[in-house]
Amino acid sequence: MNVNSTTDGALRVALVTGSTSGIGAAIARRLGDAGYAVVLHSRSSADTGRAMAAQMRQAVYVQADLAVEADRVRLVDEALAAWGQLDVLVNNAGISKVIAHGDLAAATSAVWHELHEVNVVAPFHLVTLVEPALREAARRRRAGSVVNISSHAGVRPKGASIPYAVSKAALNHMTRLLALSLGPDIRVNAVAPGLVDTPLTADWTQAQALWRDRAPMHRAATPDDIAHAVAMLVDSDYLTGEVLLSDGGLNLT
């Protein structure tokens, strides 16, 4: 078994969902660099996940479809089996559908159910599954930590589609409700990114122009910017129930 070496010598383990690319990969690497043993996850891209785990100092990879309840259970079981404990859960995995907000007919019941299952139900179920381990983390040294990756679209009337934006708004409210329910043993926070520079958003010229022209920081975020925000929330011993907008100040305009 690998031995984790954080600054105080204590073993700490983080599960980061959707962590083989983009924001999730940046979060996983940031926590790994901070001394955490990391459980990587994706629905597909298993080869990438295994390669990434091999490159990191202490990491394992688990493939699971978070839309499937049995896969969520297996993911947590394998995460706990890797090091026998869990201190941090980052609910980063999510899905989106691009539908014009005015095209109500295209936002079918199937779309609503699909997005709600992955973006809301899955994070809640994962928190439920890891609750005992996170409470045990609090007994060992410090409160367990959950960080949900939400979206600017869950705060402002924007986003790829209405069902997507509503799912992220639900995730934000769930973050606050869980913080009330699980403290002081478990802290629950969220980061709500605006536009993030990834291969997926490379051709989003209108959004890029909006952030460049109107955000006080005059640029979109990088995945490392979001990872930094997540690491700050994980490192805190006090913050809970916060939804941290990470949009370069665009919300001010």
Residue 139, classed as helix, strand or coil, is helix
Residue 164 falls in the annotated catalytic set: yes
Phi, psi for 98 (deg, rounded to 5): -90, 110
- The distance from CA 162 to its chain's CA centroid, rounded to whole angstroms, is 20
- The amino acid present at 64, given as its one-letter code, is A
From the candidates 36, 61, 164, 238, give the one annotated as an active-site residue: 164
Q: Are 30 and 231 in contact (CB under 8 A)?
A: yes
C-alpha–C-alpha distance, residues 1 and 22, integer Å: 29
Question: Can you read off the two tokens belonging to residue 55?
Answer: 């490159």
Question: Can you read off the two tokens belonging to residue 144?
Answer: 């367990």
Which neighbouring-strand residues pair with 191? 149, 244
| DSSP assignment of 56-76 | SSSEEEEE--TTSHHHHHHHH
Q: Are 40 and 60 in contact (CB under 8 A)?
A: yes
C-alpha–C-alpha distance, residues 169 and 166, integer Å: 5
- The CA-CA-CA angle for residues 22, 28, 32, to 5°, reads 145
C-alpha–C-alpha distance, residues 31 and 16, integer Å: 9
Q: Which of 59, 119, 65, 128 is nearest to 91 (CA)?
A: 119
The residues that are catalytic are 164
